[in-house]
Structure 1
Amino acid sequence: MDGAPGTGRDTGRDTGPDAGRPGERPGTLRAAFGGLTTRGRSFLAAGVAAAVCAYVLGQGDLLRVGILLTALPLVCVAVLHRTRHRVAASRRLSPSRVPAREEARVRLRLDNVSRLPTGLLMLQDQVPYVLGPRPRFTLDRVEPGGRREVSYRVRSDLRGRYLLGPLQLRLSDPFGMVELTRSFSAHDTLTVVPRTEALPPVRLPGETGGRGEGRQRSLALAGDDDVIPRGYRHGDDLRRVHWRSTARHGELMVRREEQPQRPRCTVLLDTRRTAWAGSGPGSAFEWAVSGAASVAVHLLERGYTVRLLTDTGAQVPGPDGGFPGLGSSDTAGLILDALATVAHSGEPGLSRAHEALRGGDGGHEGLLVAFLGLTSGEQTALACRMRQRASGALAFVPRGLQEAGAERQRQRTLREAGWTVLPYVPGDALPGLWRQADRAGGANGRAG
């Protein structure tokens, strides 16, 4: 960064991936005069007034005082205007993705890359107010080639993606007559993700005895017509030759190898604006967002392949991103980043989510864990049809969004369709509800 007032040149240099150069380059005396502080303007006004009074009254001593008062801020403007500081800066976040209500540290580094020492420097980083007050630092003097590092902490109770920066550098003369501001252009992004809770290992509805066991067993029990053969390769076991396909194709064909498949789970989050009441960190919707994040991370750690699905039909990872897809840590990062910015949608119902499930790659979608808001009779029936696509299904539903009788009827309908229903109120501990899923799995959701 070129911190020199009036240089009109970009002579800065980057010192790291987060470094930036100032975008503001006021290079004229007019811009320097615009940096006069209240003290500087007061001195200038007093000097002019004293000079005028001295001329009217014929007082030479008063004229000298007026000239002194006028000259001091003008000299400060000229000196600060001609001062050239070449300063480079960088910013580092640790970590760049942080759960809500936890702190992240921001480290700022300032390098004086010129051959002259700097004067008094004041730093201010632009930070959204939701992260706390804007940090300000004062550096008295930075020697040629010197370096200074400062840090501050940010914290947010609200999930989201927040821009930090640009960093502003304020130059001031020793008398405080003039202040000039320069700004770096670089920003950094802090992602505040929903808080997750550690969940206990439980036996979930529809879960087989071992990972991929159901899939392997289905291959073993498949008839000859269900086998997908492939051509013989050197080294294949002759006991795996599929003679019917060999006769049909006129070449040696073998049964394809049984590949173990990871158990799958779809986490459905209902984001319809009409389905939720209230807002803020203590609302039912925010509880559902945090619950969806906790379930996704927990099942990924257990070896599941997990995707996030919303009522808009959006999927993370996307359908083309490979539902069997990415590594667990990468998938967890994608899902948490998506949940950090998820907001209420204007969808009238769950039809798009149903279509996304129907458009799956055939068969069952594995486990379905849904965080539902208020649903009408039509949407409840649609959720019942979604259950047909899953080997097991859990539904977290908030209490108190509708009349008690209608709420019980909705839960009864979901249970009759095969859902394990877990009612909650904001503030309930998710691990306790998760244990109820274990106990309720064999009884079709008697919990709650």
Structure 2
Amino acid sequence: MPGAEGGSGDPGNGLRAALSGLTTRGRSFLAAGVAAAVCAYVLGQPDLLRVGLLLAALPLVCVVVLYRTRYRVAGGRRLAPSRVPAMAEARVFLRVDNVSRIPTGLLMLQDRVPYVLGPRPRFVLDRVEPGGHREVSYRVRSDLRGRYPLGPLQLRLTDPFGMCELTRSFSAFDTLTVVPKVTPLPPVRLAGEASGYGDSRTRALSLAGEDDVIPRGYRHGDDLRRVHWRSTAKYGELMVRREEQPHKARCTVLLDTRREAFYGAGPDSAFEWAVSGAASVAAHMLERGFSVRLLMDNGSTVPGPDGAGGFGGNDSSDAAGVLLDTLAVVDHSEEPGAGLSLAHDVLRAGSEGLLVAFLGELDEEQAAIVGRMRQRAGGAVAFVLAGSGWTSREAGPYPDVPPGGEPAPGEQDDEEDAQRSVRMLREAGWTVLPVSAGDGLAELWQRADRYRSREEAGAR
């Protein structure tokens, strides 16, 4: 069974641990047996001694039997699905198999789950026949993305007489991955999304590729029908023609994770909106056949650096899984003061097609760095989550001002800095969409398309 936790279990603390599992009934029988044996010795009553030995032996026999049979109970767990979006439910299936030759007593099943997934589930199971099994299930749900361990599974066994209870813990556990919520996006055409950058020849190559007629050296396994004899005679070594090498359209999703760039925390914070937006755009572009790369402000990329410059392969489902798993655990960067310069260095080393950035608050220096990123992209769209309106929706747009009040002078300065940053990015050629609390990504995505059409009309 997938997710099985093994059928033998661990021995615990031995027979002493089994004796500590005596119930109140078992302890009473044992005490009564000992008392009867003492009275029989004092009073000289052999019949009473036999009764005492029977009373004392019954719970001890139950302990020994239960101690031996607990190794023959197997437990398993299965998640459906193992990767779930935030605020969605997953179901956990538990299975208990009795692999011994005798039936079990009453079983209490308990699974350990993190508190963010809900209360700890407990189940009471009837006796399981030899070779039989029981299945139960429960649901988990989390508003916070992350990777959460489930388990280990705990099983409490009892004998048919209720004399002893033993708790068994399995060693294995499973992991539930809660990924960011992915918003379906409308199919729009953004500037540069299918063109890379540069002149028309480069743009054509980004979609169709060309037949590279420049020969290269022969490699083991090359088809001899591709040998370029003229070049072979010229260079004095075996040369072959290169086959057509198509260029997939590329998209880079830049996620700003600087702690000082975002206000608030929790599922409705600006940072969580940015993470969910990055996941939505990445999944949308993969569905459209793009090679997608996720780039962080600290310069790290997903997928990692490879021969294609860090862009994903052709399998969109695998690439989407890798990106979502990464975004499930992404947190604020631990490099204060580094800013976005490391991400700019990565972009400067190659050529991009479409660049989509999810940015927090930008000062003038960081806005200038982001503006220079536009030079290496055929098209650039920035979602800027600036302003303290993300601090608390209930408290109004500013933390110390009630709804309808006037912001403090310092807050006005922050808004002016945000507007200045947006203006600098637009002057650098970015399509900029300021994001406020409550804005939907799908509507902003369509608005970016309208901005593109407007810019193209102005250019003509």
Coarse TM-score class (shorter-chain normalised): 0.7 to 0.9
Could you tell me how far 1:29 is from its partner in structure 2?
3.2
Q: Does 1:344 align with 2:338?
A: no
Could you tell me how far 1:164 is from its partner in structure 2?
1.1
Looking at structure 2, the residues matched to 395 and 367 of structure 1 have their Cα atoms a distance apart, in angstroms, of 11
Aligned to 1:184: 170
- CA 1:18–1:350: 2 relative to 1, 3 Å: farther
Looking at structure 1, the residues matched to 345 and 140 of structure 2 have their Cα atoms a distance apart, in angstroms, of 41
- CA 1:86–1:235: 2 relative to 1, 3 Å: closer
Aligned to 1:123: 109
Structure 1, unmatched stretches of 5+, are 1-14
Structure-1-length-normalised TM-score: 0.80
1:397 to 376, 384, 393: 384
Could you tell me how far 1:88 is from its partner in structure 2?
2.0
Could you tell me how far 1:218 is from its partner in structure 2?
5.9
Aligned to 2:348: 358
Looking at structure 2, the residues matched to 211 and 384 of structure 1 have their Cα atoms a distance apart, in angstroms, of 16
Looking at structure 1, the residues matched to 193 and 157 of structure 2 have their Cα atoms a distance apart, in angstroms, of 65
8 Å contact 1:47–1:67 — kept in the other structure?
no
Aligned to 2:441: 430
8 Å contact 2:363–2:417 — kept in the other structure?
no
Instruction: State the one-letter code of the partner of 2:362.
Output: T
| 3-state secondary structure, aligned to 1:396 | strand
Looking at structure 1, the residues matched to 298 and 416 of structure 2 have their Cα atoms a distance apart, in angstroms, of 29
Looking at structure 2, the residues matched to 117 and 49 of structure 1 have their Cα atoms a distance apart, in angstroms, of 30
8 Å contact 1:211–1:262 — kept in the other structure?
no
- CA 1:49–1:266: 2 relative to 1, 3 Å: same
1:329 to 314, 317, 320: 317
| 3-state secondary structure, aligned to 1:336 | helix
- CA 1:38–1:282: 2 relative to 1, 3 Å: farther
| 3-state secondary structure, aligned to 1:320 | coil
Could you report, residue by residue, the CA deviation over 1:297-334 in whole angstroms, capped at 9, with x for unpaired residues? Answer: 00111111101010121111111274344211111111
Is 247-256 or 145-154 further displaced after alignment? 247-256
Looking at structure 2, the residues matched to 194 and 202 of structure 1 have their Cα atoms a distance apart, in angstroms, of 22
Q: List aligned pairs for 1:73-222, cutoff 5 A.
A: 76-81=62-67, 83=69, 86-174=72-160, 176-208=162-194, 215=202, 217=204
RMSD of the alignment, in Å? 4.0
8 Å contact 1:22–1:183 — kept in the other structure?
no
Is 254-263 or 371-380 further displaced after alignment? 254-263
Q: Does 1:295 align with 2:275?
A: no
Could you report, residue by residue, the CA deviation over 1:90-111 in whole angstroms, capped at 9, with x for unpaired residues? Answer: 2211111111111112112222
Could you report, residue by residue, the CA deviation over 1:270-306 in whole angstroms, capped at 9, with x for unpaired residues? Answer: 1111111111100010010000000000011111110
8 Å contact 2:383–2:434 — kept in the other structure?
yes
Could you tell me how far 1:51 is from its partner in structure 2?
8.0
Looking at structure 1, the residues matched to 197 and 93 of structure 2 have their Cα atoms a distance apart, in angstroms, of 44
| 3-state secondary structure, aligned to 2:97 | strand
- CA 1:34–1:273: 2 relative to 1, 3 Å: same
Looking at structure 1, the residues matched to 196 and 422 of structure 2 have their Cα atoms a distance apart, in angstroms, of 30
| 3-state secondary structure, aligned to 1:138 | strand
Aligned to 1:6: none
Looking at structure 1, the residues matched to 238 and 17 of structure 2 have their Cα atoms a distance apart, in angstroms, of 85
Aligned to 2:398: none
How many residue pairs align between the two structures?
Answer: 414
| 3-state secondary structure, aligned to 1:432 | helix
8 Å contact 1:373–1:397 — kept in the other structure?
yes
Could you report, residue by residue, the CA deviation over 1:44-66 in whole angstroms, capped at 9, with x for unpaired residues? Answer: 798599889999xx9x9xx9999
Looking at structure 2, the residues matched to 342 and 182 of structure 1 have their Cα atoms a distance apart, in angstroms, of 35
8 Å contact 2:101–2:130 — kept in the other structure?
yes
Looking at structure 2, the residues matched to 440 and 242 of structure 1 have their Cα atoms a distance apart, in angstroms, of 53
Instruction: State the one-letter code of the partner of 1:354.
Output: H
- CA 1:208–1:195: 2 relative to 1, 3 Å: closer
Looking at structure 2, the residues matched to 376 and 357 of structure 1 have their Cα atoms a distance apart, in angstroms, of 20
8 Å contact 1:387–1:393 — kept in the other structure?
yes
Looking at structure 1, the residues matched to 68 and 243 of structure 2 have their Cα atoms a distance apart, in angstroms, of 77
Could you report, residue by residue, the CA deviation over 1:105-154 in whole angstroms, capped at 9, with x for unpaired residues? Answer: 21122221121111112111111121112222222111111122222211
Could you report, residue by residue, the CA deviation over 1:172-201 in whole angstroms, capped at 9, with x for unpaired residues? Answer: 234544321111111111111111111011
Q: Does 1:412 align with 2:402?
A: no
